[in-house]
Amino acid sequence: MNVPNFGPGTDPATLRAWAQTVEGLGFDLLMMSDHVAVTPDVAEQYPAPFYEPFTTLSWLAGITDRIRLGTTVVVAPYRHPLVLARMSSNLNELSGGRFILGVGVGWARQEFAALGVPFERRGRLTDEALQTLREVWQDENDYGSKRIPIWVGGNSDAALRRAVRFGDAWHMLRFTPAWMRAAVAKLPETGAPALAPRIALRLTDKPVLDADRLAGEGTVDQIAEDIAELRALGAESLLLDPFNGDPQETLRPEAAWKALATIADIRKDLQ
């Protein structure tokens, strides 16, 4: 489950309730997103308060028992690679080896400017960060002896190439079923990363028949069919994203919890 860590309805009590709900329903993974400076381009979509993911996930690690924790996705150029390696390793150790590092290149030009990071170099900076992470996690050292799984986020061909080169999984983000079929066809015959897509979670009473319907949108039957198809296409992990673009949704988390409980009820049929 992708848990909103931003917006007017988000506070420590709500984040705690999210974690306890997701783990209590038997799900395996809780992830959250990353922004450092809530500049106007960020705030338009993800307004403050915005809880920093490493800090928040470290806290949630202490109030959960078994659920894996991760980022969807950390913007790699925002932090020095050794800082990112240290924070990730510490969080992995503090959580008992439950951390997954999802990484992306970022999109918010104003935020890059506020942090003094060149927007035009974000792809190269991400590649350099991933290379550094692999090097410092290769051998046992003070960054942690067990290498943390890396999910490379993004839907572009560049993201796929980056996932093949550096990642344990390609973490595609919110797409149509047709897009996913085409994306799988692009995978190399050898050396392909695992698939760990993030899909929508928007439960409706009536079928959604639009051609641009996102995977995870629609009736219970439609969502079940999407999940079954993704599994057939090779997805090993699947992240559900309940945020559909309106920050006011964060004031009503119960709606997302109800949808998640519905998916939990049909999990056995999907396995």
Nearest CA to 57 out of 28, 81, 33, 85 is that of 33
Nearest CA to 45 out of 35, 53, 55 is that of 35
Average pLDDT score over residue span 208-218: 97
Q: Which of 51-55, 86-90, 188-192 has the lowest mean pLDDT?
A: 188-192
For 93-139, what is each residue's pLDDT tens digit? 999 999 999 999 999 999 999 999 999 999 999 999 999 999 999 87
Residue 267 pLDDT level (bands cut at 50, 70, 90): confident
24, 86, 102, 54: CA torsion to nearest 10: 50
142 has a pLDDT exceeding 70 = no
The model's pTM: 0.96
For 54-72, what is each residue's pLDDT tens digit? 999 999 999 999 999 999 9
Query: Is residue 2 within 8 Å of residue 212, measured between CB atoms?
Result: no
Q: Which amino acid is at 126?
A: T
